[in-house]
Structure 1
Amino acid sequence: MIDTAYVRTMAHYNAWQNDSLYAAAATRDDAARRRDCGAFFKSIHGTLCHLLWADQMWLSRFAGTPKPGVGIHDSAGLVTSWDDLVVERKAFDRTITDWAAGLSQDWLAGDLTWFSGATQREMRKPVGLLVTHMFNHQTHHRGQIHAMLTAAGAKPEDTDLMLIDVVR
């Protein structure tokens, strides 16, 4: 389904896009970042927290990294301090990039079984599909954040994947 070059490219894209969004969000005050904008996770801050939460949850399944300290329903409040959120996001983007650099094609071709808190049942799916889902989930919520930031007057960078250097 996917190969290791795709995963490394998407990990690179994830870090680039997060850098852009966090830089744009830093131009707004804390009240603006926490304002309920009607998004699923309400605010810029809440959606950024949920996105970090989801990345931590998937990497815990893929690589055995620690699970986030809260469940999905509390994910928008994962990190209360803006400064701490910035530090944690940057560090976890390095974790994702390092994880992607060490993947094997054999692992990507396998299956993963896990208990899903969202569905409250055990699930089994192809790893390649799940890794693709993680990156798709990132893009989905970053699009929401990009729209909220733009509406608030911030100017995040372009989001086009074709603008990054391909990682081989």
Structure 2
Amino acid sequence: MLRHFQMLADYNRWANERIYDACAALPDDDYRADRGAFFGSAHRTLNHLLVADRIWLRRITGTGTAPMELNVVLYEDLAELRTARAAEDERFIRLTTSLAPDAFERSVSYTPVTVPTPVTEPLGPILAHVFNHQTHHRGQVHAILTSLGQPSVVLDMIAFLRKDGKQWMS
């Protein structure tokens, strides 16, 4: 399980780089326009992902800043947002690299932002949720990009594993 989550952290970094590359190619008005995604625009969706990851990393590690609202825009500038995204992706890579094999059963207690009732859950399912959440919202950004006539961004994990993530195939 440890190697699996390390692979997911590496894939997450790779997929985020690709989606940010595609967003950087958009005219700013298209990047910021409400396109009907859950958080509206590509810009707001990418900000939401950063917000959520900061919240989860704070819960898991006890370090870092964590906004108390899921729709906060942390960065108006795409380049600054991208730099912050890369830093959080590296935090996930460091986290998964630092874990002991039995860490996934460790309990994490926190109070959700949306339902302020304390909960305690094991780390393994939490990390699975975090990486799945990234995939879900990257898919929304991908839909925004293709609706604007942009080329489809290849985000398939198998594409990552066949090229940039070959080390995870052995």
Q: 2:134 — aligned with what?
A: 138
d(CA) in 2 for partners of 1:21, 1:68: 23
Post-superposition CA distance 1:29-86 (Å, at most 9, x none): 21111100011100000000001111111111111231334522x33x1211112111
1:24 equivalenced with 2:29 (yes/no): no
1:155 equivalent among 151, 155, 158: 151
- Confirm or deny: 8 A CA contact 1:24 1:156 kept in the other structure: no
Matches within 5 A, 1:82-93: 82-93=78-89
Post-superposition CA distance 1:114-166 (Å, at most 9, x none): 11111111011121111100011011101111111111122353121122225
Q: 1:8 — aligned with what?
A: 6
In structure 2, stretches of 5+ residues that fail to align are none
Q: 2:39 — aligned with what?
A: 41
1:94 equivalent among 79, 90, 94: 90
The one-letter code sitting in structure 2 at the alignment partner of 1:28 is L
TM-score by length of 2: 0.90
d(CA) in 1 for partners of 2:57, 2:152: 26
SS in 2 for 1:162: helix
**Alignment RMSD (CA, Å):** 1.5
SS in 2 for 1:37: coil
d(CA) in 2 for partners of 1:140, 1:65: 25
d(CA) in 1 for partners of 2:82, 2:152: 16
SS in 2 for 1:99: helix
Q: Which runs of 4+ in 1 moved over 2 A?
A: 67-70, 153-157, 165-168
In structure 1, stretches of 5+ residues that fail to align are none
d(CA) in 1 for partners of 2:85, 2:91: 10
The structure whose RCO (Cα within 8 Å, separation 6+) is larger is 1
Q: How many residues align?
A: 164
Q: Percent identity?
A: 34
- Confirm or deny: 8 A CA contact 2:68 2:113 kept in the other structure: no
Q: 1:126 — aligned with what?
A: 122
